[in-house]
Homo-oligomer: A and B are copies of this chain.
C-alpha cells in the first residue's frame, strides 16, 4: 500500500487489490444462473462470519438502512423497546425506533463508557412489556466495544422471549460475535467495514424468534421487507435489483476472509488495536474509552490541550497521506479516531503512528511529561 492513501478512518475501509479488480467486472443479468451462484456463495460466506445457520439477508443500502430494516420488520406501532446507547450510533438506533412510533426507554451511558449488563437486567425487570432491546456491539463514535456476550446472556436469562437487535456494523468480522451461540435475533452489518468492500450493502441475520415476530409485526415496510429478501436467498430471485458490483466484491473478499480464518481475523484486529493504543500512549496522548472495553476496530484519542485538531488531521493527510477521522456529535473537536479494521496490517498502523507523531511535533507537542513513565 506504499503508493496509496493510508485510510485510517473506521469505514469505508481500504479495499484489497483483488476485491478492487472484482468491482470492475462487467455487469451481468441479476436474474440469471451465474449471479444466483454468486449470491449463494456470498450468503454462505456471511453465515460463516456471523456464526449462524439462520439466513443472512442483504439489502442495497448503508448500515443505517440495515438498522431501520431491523426495526420495521419485527415491531409494531407503539411497541415498548429498550435502547441502550453509548454513543452516536446507539443514539441513531434509538432515533429510528422513535421516528417509527415506538415507545423508547433509553439507557444512556457517558460517551467512552460501555453498557453494563446488570443495568440492562434491572431495566428488563422494570419494563416487563418491553418487546425488544436495541443495542450497539461496537460504538464507532467512541471506540468502545460493549460486552455483548454477557449482555445477551443477561437478556436471555431475564426474558427468554424478548428480541435482541444488534448494530454490529463496525464490529462484525473484527470482534468476536456468535449470532447463534449468543442467541442474537437481528444482527446488522455493513459492507464498508471489516468486509473490505465499498459501502452500499447492509446485511442482517434473522433468528427464528425474529421470524416469528416478523410474521405479526405491523410497521409499514416494502423495500426492507424480510420476507421478500429471504426469497432472494432461497430462490436466487432478488425482489429488486441488487448491488451487483458489491456482490462481485464481497464474493472475493469473503474468500480472502475464509482463507485467513474467522478467529485469526479477530486475533489480528485485537493485536493491531493494542499496537495502536500503545503507540498512542507512547506519544503521551490519552484514550477516550474505558480501558476494560476498548474496541478492536477503532481507537478514539483525546485531543490534548494546545493542539489544533484541524491542523493535525491536515498535516497527517498532506504530509503523510494518512487519513484519521474526527469526532462525531458532542465529541466533535474533542477527539480524533484511528480506524484499524478490515484490510490493515502492522505496517499501516506504524506508518499512521509515525504520521501522528510528526504532525504533533509540528505543533510543538513534546508529550505529557507525566506520561513518560507509563
Contacts and interface: CB of A to CB of B under 8 A. Distances in A.
Contact of A26 (B20, B64, B220, B326): B20
A274 B319 CA distance: 56
A21 B145 CA distance: 37
A29 B220 CA distance: 34
A192 B24 contact: no
Nearest to A17: B24
A26 B323 CA distance: 13
Contacts of A26: 4-5, 7, 14-15, 20
The interface size bin for chain A is: 35 or more
Interface stretch (A95-103, A105-113, A285-293): A95-103
A221 interface: yes
A281 to B, nearest CB: 25
Interface in A16-60: 20-21, 23-32, 59-60
Contact of A12 (B9, B63, B221, B241): B241
A9 B29 contact: yes
A11 interface: yes
A236 interface: no
A351 to B, nearest CB: 15
Interface string A235-259: 0000111111110000000000000
A323 B30 CA distance: 11
A99 B241 CA distance: 20
Among A5, A29, A65, A240, max chain B CB count under 10 A is at: A29
A331 interface: no
Chain copies in the assembly? 2
Contacts of A217: none
A213 interface: no
Interface in A249-302: none
A55 to B, nearest CB: 19
Contacts of A243: 62, 198-200, 243
Interface string A61-73: 1111100100000
Contacts of A96: 222
Contacts of A244: 12, 192, 198-200
Contact of A23 (B7, B23, B29, B62): B23
A190 interface: yes
Interface in A194-239: 198-201, 220-223, 239
A325 interface: yes
Contacts of A13: 27
A11 B241 contact: yes
Contacts of A4: 26
A74 to B, nearest CB: 15
Contact of A64 (B5, B30, B190, B240): B240
A64 B28 CA distance: 19
A240 B14 contact: no
A234 to B, nearest CB: 18
23 contacts: A7-B27, A7-B29, A9-B29, A11-B241, A12-B244, A21-B24, A23-B24, A29-B325, A30-B199, A60-B62, A60-B199, A62-B240, A62-B242, A63-B241, A68-B223, A95-B222, A99-B220, A192-B244, A199-B242, A199-B244, A200-B201, A200-B245, A200-B246
Given A15-B27, A59-B61, A200-B201, 12 more contacts: A12-B241, A29-B325, A62-B242, A64-B222, A99-B220, A100-B220, A190-B241, A198-B246, A199-B243, A199-B245, A200-B245, A245-B245
